[in-house]
Amino acid sequence: MTFDLTKIVRPKIYNLEPYRCARDDFKDGVLLDANENPHGPTQPGLEGSGLNRYPDPHQLAFKTAMANFRNGENHQYKDLPQPLTAENLCLGVGSDESIDAIIRACCVPAKEKILVLPPTYSMYSVCAHINDVEIVKCPLITSDNSFQANTDEVIKTAQNDPSIKLIFITSPGNPTGAKVETSRIEKILQNWDRGMVVVDEAYIDFCGGSTAPLVTKYPNLCVLQTLSKSFGLAGIRLGITFASKEMARVLNSMKAPYNISSLASEYALRAVQPDNLKVMKQLSLENKSQQHRLVKELTSLPNVHKEPIGGLDANFILLRIGNGDGDNDLAKKLYYKLATESGVVVRYRGSELGCTGCLRITVGTKEENDKLVKEFAKLLTQLTSN
Ligand SMILES: Cc1ncc(COP(=O)(O)O)c(C=O)c1O
């Protein structure tokens, strides 16, 4: 395959001269270059915080630590040309910003398309609509409850439609919780070079086996990760795109120069220090044991399917409520009563492909799960006994 990024990225974006500030060249001294407030923040308590200054536009220390972390975890890919470096990364305001940026970089509005594999994360479609980009669907395999990518169908669909520029694969899936086998992702990467394959790994630390190191081997791969899930930092809004150095350069030149705030930068850097990475891994493991407990206790209830739907590779479970193929009406009522009568909020997913009657439940703390199980059982009995 001969991959040519200049044919994938819109020319004006590929050739974009990024915004440059004087601070790119000079960081110290009397700083009169950026029209900041020299007196500092106006509210008391923030003196000396430095928050009157624009943040660092590059986050090199965080990117380097994150690249090293993913390199260090990689025990499975032996023949990679190079390890990841900071130059393979671009940071966004959550992966939601990264999704939008990749669509804008590659798809000409009203002309080009993205391919998604439903049931999947809905932001790909939202961002596509915002950018006037059409959506083609190639469903995951639902018949065997594997929720794997239908590899041959994905390749055929993408090969037959030259206007498709991006394939979004969520692994582990949302709402399916199933990690897409790496061999399937590699097969798609090896058989389609007219665009980028974007693997969204928001939940990867709950199962391991990131494909991020593969961006040094496949120039048509972008991998999205986030600090919102396993790192417990949804509030700082920090998403990471791993890509070839060439693609990462494009994404970095497109982004607003100060998209990552000083506070987000600081917390992100702390999160990738060795001790905190250990805590992240430990908590992800603990999440597994609570996840298994929830599956066991909730699937033993009458009117709940005995097997969860999809996989257990993320930090949630997907349960089918009702007999037979699932009952959307019952699932919706249970969802509503849980929120309004018990104060427990889960997510109704019954309208997603292959998910009739499904509720998606995030694994909480032990105490939160205790409450969920008790209220879930009580309300389900009430709803099915009259
Ligand atoms: C698959 C997937 N990707 C991305 C995101 C959004 O992540 P962020 O908080 O980094 O925008 C989510 C959030 O639920 C998700 O489920």
How does pLDDT run across 182-221, given as a tens digit for each residue? 999 999 999 999 999 999 999 999 999 999 999 999 999 9
Residues 5-15, mean pLDDT to the nearest whole number = 97
The answer to whether position 42 is within a domain reads no
Domain boundary among 272, 296, 311: 272
Same domain, 214 and 87: yes
Q: How far is the CA of 175 from the centre of ligand 1 (A)?
A: 11
**Percent of the chain surpassing pLDDT 70:** 99
Q: How far is the CA of 202 from the centre of ligand 1 (A)?
A: 6
Asked if residue 157 has pLDDT above 90, the reply is yes
CA–CA separation, 95 and 42 (whole Å): 32
Q: How far is the CA of 66 from the centre of ligand 1 (A)?
A: 18
CA–CA separation, 209 and 77 (whole Å): 10
Query: Please, which pLDDT band fits residue 24 given cuts at 50, 70 and 90?
Result: confident
The answer to whether position 129 is within a domain reads yes
Query: Please, which pLDDT band fits residue 22 given cuts at 50, 70 and 90?
Result: confident
Q: What is the pLDDT of residues 46-72, one digit of tens each?
A: 999 999 999 999 999 999 999 999 999
Asked if residue 1 has pLDDT above 80, the reply is no
The answer to whether position 232 is within a domain reads yes
The answer to whether position 191 is within a domain reads yes
Query: Please, which pLDDT band fits residue 21 given cuts at 50, 70 and 90?
Result: confident
Q: Which H or E run includes 170? A: strand 164-170
Any residues with Cβ below 6 Å from ligand 1, and which?
94-96, 121, 170, 174, 200, 202, 226, 228, 234, 239
The answer to whether position 1 is within a domain reads no
Same domain, 231 and 86: yes
The answer to whether position 187 is within a domain reads yes
Ligand 1: which atom is nearest the Cα of residue 120? Answer: 1
Ligand 1: which atom is nearest the Cα of residue 92? Answer: 10
pLDDT at position 29 is 93
Same domain, 260 and 290: no
- Owning domain of residue 345: 285-385
Domain boundary among 214, 244, 272: 272
Q: Considering only CA atoms, which residue is closest to atom 12 of ligand 1?
A: 202
pLDDT at position 386 is 65
CA–CA separation, 231 and 257 (whole Å): 24
Same domain, 264 and 346: no
The pair of three-digit structure tokens given for residue 25, joined into one six-digit string: 């060249």
Same domain, 235 and 316: no
Domain count, the chain: 2
Residues 108-131, mean pLDDT to the nearest whole number = 98
- Contact partners, residue 186, CB within 8 Å, separation at least 6: 214, 218
Q: What is the pLDDT of residues 313-338, one digit of tens each?
A: 999 999 999 988 999 999 999 999 99
Query: Please, which pLDDT band fits residue 79 given cuts at 50, 70 and 90?
Result: confident
Q: Considering only CA atoms, which residue is closest to atom 7 of ligand 1?
A: 95
Same domain, 115 and 241: yes
**Percent of the chain surpassing pLDDT 90:** 94
pLDDT at position 253 is 96
Same domain, 330 and 379: yes
Q: How far is the CA of 96 from the centre of ligand 1 (A)?
A: 6
- Which of 364, 350, 372 shows the shortest CA–CA distance to 298? 372
CATH label of the domain that carries residue 330: 3.90.1150.10
Same domain, 346 and 265: no
φ, ψ dihedrals at 90, nearest 5°: -135, 135
Q: What is the pLDDT of residues 196-206, one digit of tens each?
A: 999 999 999 99
pLDDT at position 75 is 85
Domain boundary among 272, 297, 312: 272
**Beta carbons of 228 and 245 less than 8 angstroms apart:** no
Same domain, 129 and 191: yes
Residues 91-97, mean pLDDT to the nearest whole number = 97
Pocket test for ligand 1, best of 228, 236, 240, 361 (most atoms within 8 A of CB): 228
Residues 298-315, mean pLDDT to the nearest whole number = 97
Same domain, 213 and 305: no
The answer to whether position 156 is within a domain reads yes
Same domain, 108 and 163: yes
Asked if residue 140 has pLDDT above 70, the reply is yes
pLDDT at position 2 is 83
Q: How far is the CA of 188 from the centre of ligand 1 (A)?
A: 23
Q: How far is the CA of 237 from the centre of ligand 1 (A)?
A: 10
The answer to whether position 198 is within a domain reads yes
- Which of 125, 122, 311 shows the shortest CA–CA distance to 203? 311
CATH label of the domain that carries residue 146: 3.40.640.10
Same domain, 260 and 300: no
pLDDT at position 25 is 87
Residues 255-279, mean pLDDT to the nearest whole number = 97
**Top-confidence residue, 276 or 25:** 276
